Amino acid sequence: MTGLHHRSLGEGHMGNINISGLIVVIGTPGSGKTRVAKLIAESLGCRYLNVGELSLEKGYVLGRDEERGSYIIDEERVREELSRIEDTIVVETISPYAIPQDKVSLVIVVRCRPSILLERLRGRGYSKSKIRENLEYEAIDGPLFDAMQIADVDKIVEIDGCEGNDEEIYDALRGIKKGVGRFNWSQDFLSILEEI
């Protein structure tokens, strides 16, 4: 994220939205969540926290899902930990149930076109079944549904995480407007079904 250190979204503001508390960044694996979350944290001058990394670091793990090749986090313990945070912080997660709803000021749903997501997940070495599961999740608006589990629609914003350089993402965040329903990837998903 070079070249953005001098840029700021403005303390306590992102576009036309006042923020404090948890800024949650959620999306399908490979959608660009980490990039967007770190860019927001850097721009606002606040801390970035990844729920998966926190869970491993603190031992908030209940077990391992061998089929999916992922850990099962203790969402209750993570939620308790996040509830104690008083500062503005950017939290990256794929699990909305680990987030204390009363602390959420904004949820940014990072979306990605399934055809681009397919290549990203292949690049990560995901199994065919895991790729298909994640592409279906994106195509049926799974990330948006998850966001609605922790925040009202007026606190949710969708952005495209699969296009643009850091500067373009930054500009999109500065001009951010509340709202959902901007993305419909169903046709793109259907066009790549045979590739999965």
pLDDT at 43 over 70: yes
92-97 average pLDDT score: 92
128 is in an annotated binding site: no
97 φ, ψ (degrees, to nearest 5): -75, -10
Q: Judge whether residue 33 has pLDDT over 90.
A: yes
**Contact yes or no for 60/194 (Cβ under 8 A):** no
Of the candidates 21, 14, 170, the residue with the CA atom closest to the CA atom of residue 90: 21
Higher pLDDT residue, 43 or 109? Answer: 109
138 pLDDT exceeds 60? Answer: yes
| DSSP alpha helix (H) spans, 27-185 | 33-44, 51-58, 75-83, 114-123, 128-139, 142-148, 166-174
Distance CA 125, CA 35 (A): 19
Q: What percent of the chain has pLDDT over 70?
A: 74
CB neighbour list of residue 169: distance below 8 Å, 6 or more residues apart: 35, 36, 39, 159, 161
Is 30 labeled as ligand-binding? Answer: yes
Please list, in sequence order, all residues whose beta carbon lies within 8 angstroms of the beta carbon of residue 145, skipping any fewer than 6 positions away. none
CATH level 2 (architecture), domain 13-195: 3-Layer(aba) Sandwich (3.40)
pLDDT number for residue 3: 35
> What ranges do the domains of the chain cover?
13-195
Statement: residue 176 has pLDDT above 80: no
Confidence class for position 155, pLDDT limits 50, 70, 90: confident
Task: Give the three-state DSSP class for 191.
Answer: helix
The secondary structure of residue 35, as a DSSP letter, is H
- Residue 182's pLDDT band (cuts 50, 70, 90): low
